[in-house]
Structure 1
Amino acid sequence: MLPMDCHTHTGISPDGSGTVAGHIAQAEKLELPVLALTEHVEMNRYFPQAHYGTEPRNEWEIFDHAAVLEQSLEVVTAAKEQAAANGLTLLCGMEMGQPNADFGLSESVSRDMRLDFIIASLHELLDKPDFFCLDYTQEDIPALMEQYFSQ
């Protein structure tokens, strides 16, 4: 078995903390042979807010995830060689949220040759805010589950 962490977020993601260098140092301290940095890249808010003409529904709805991805790709790619010299395989990844919002865009983004690893996630249904922000006392849970699995 090869121990690794393949789902990590730095401060580049809205719900992450720390730096790429800090995550690498912690992985080296733990003697992990592999670390994937997988920042959130929400495909339904990939472009700047003006592109969509909508206002955020909550503090988590940030736009311009293209910039998030580019920042992550640049920083992680630059850190790979030093990490390798210290015995750590550093993978440049992303957590692609809502790929179903635009399959063509999602496929195009996934072709970036700097990416080694992609996690596909559904953090929200296309007509609702992030699952974290829902008031579940006001929701029909079986209907939500049906929508989730159909999307």
Structure 2
Amino acid sequence: MQLPADGHVHTEFSWDADHGAMDATCARAVALGLPVVAFTEHVDFTPFRAGFLVSNFPHLVTDGILHAPPLDVAGYLDSIDRCRFAYPELQILTGLEIGQPHLHPAEVAALLSAGTFDRVIGSLHCLPDGETMAEPWELFPHHPPAEVFRAYLAELPA
């Protein structure tokens, strides 16, 4: 029986997964017998209220707002090429997980034109909360859960 692909993996190229390691992930995937991995790195153009992330990423936070750095596309694609060469038995797909892509069409278009990506995931990580954006876990202490959930579901179609 063949194992399924792992279609959603983050590495050191995701701003919030600095302990990830693409090469080590490929080695482990081969050892486990996975046929495919897709490295879908986090890209977030939306500044958002950092909450507990302040302690994990203080260098990215200004006045309580987290500003994710841009993806190093050239470094990411170079690492993909090195891993494809080192692990020919593993199918390695490129990818992105873009938070709130509908709010940043120009930035997303520029990013997509910077390389070839096999998989692009549009994610809804943040919702408006007054003058800022915040992830749902940051909203729950200040808003009724049903209100947060409805706001999330209402934003998904966008």
After TM superposition, the score normalised by the length of structure 2 is 0.72
Corresponding position of 1:11: 12
Corresponding position of 2:62: 55
Q: Percent identity?
A: 26
Q: Which runs of 5+ in 1 are unaligned?
A: 46-53
Per-residue deviation, 1:123: 0.9
1:63-94 CA distances to partner (integer Å, 9 max, x unpaired)?
32243x4432331233223222xx10001111
2:34 and 2:99 map into 1 onto residues whose CA distance is 26
1:115 and 1:77 map into 2 onto residues whose CA distance is 13
- Matching residue's letter, 2:91: T
- 1:95-134 mapped onto 2 (5 Å cutoff): 95-126=97-128, 127-132=132-137, 134=138
Residues 124/26 of structure 1: CA separation in 2 closer, same or farther (3 Å cut): same
Corresponding position of 1:75: 79
Q: Which runs of 5+ in 2 are unaligned?
A: 48-60
- Matching residue's letter, 2:90: L
Residues 147/111 of structure 1: CA separation in 2 closer, same or farther (3 Å cut): farther
Residues 116/29 of structure 1: CA separation in 2 closer, same or farther (3 Å cut): same
1:65 is paired with a residue of what secondary structure?
coil
Residues 12/139 of structure 1: CA separation in 2 closer, same or farther (3 Å cut): same
1:100 and 1:56 map into 2 onto residues whose CA distance is 25
1:40 and 1:5 map into 2 onto residues whose CA distance is 16
Residues 139/70 of structure 1: CA separation in 2 closer, same or farther (3 Å cut): farther
1:138 is paired with a residue of what secondary structure?
coil
Residues 56/73 of structure 1: CA separation in 2 closer, same or farther (3 Å cut): farther
Corresponding position of 1:49: none
1:71 and 1:130 map into 2 onto residues whose CA distance is 28
Residues 93/106 of structure 1: CA separation in 2 closer, same or farther (3 Å cut): same
1:90 is paired with a residue of what secondary structure?
strand
Per-residue deviation, 1:2: 6.0
RMSD: 2.5
Once structures 1 and 2 are overlaid, which stretch shifts more, 2-11 or 91-100? 2-11
Specify which of 44, 48, 52 is matched with residue 42 of structure 1: 44
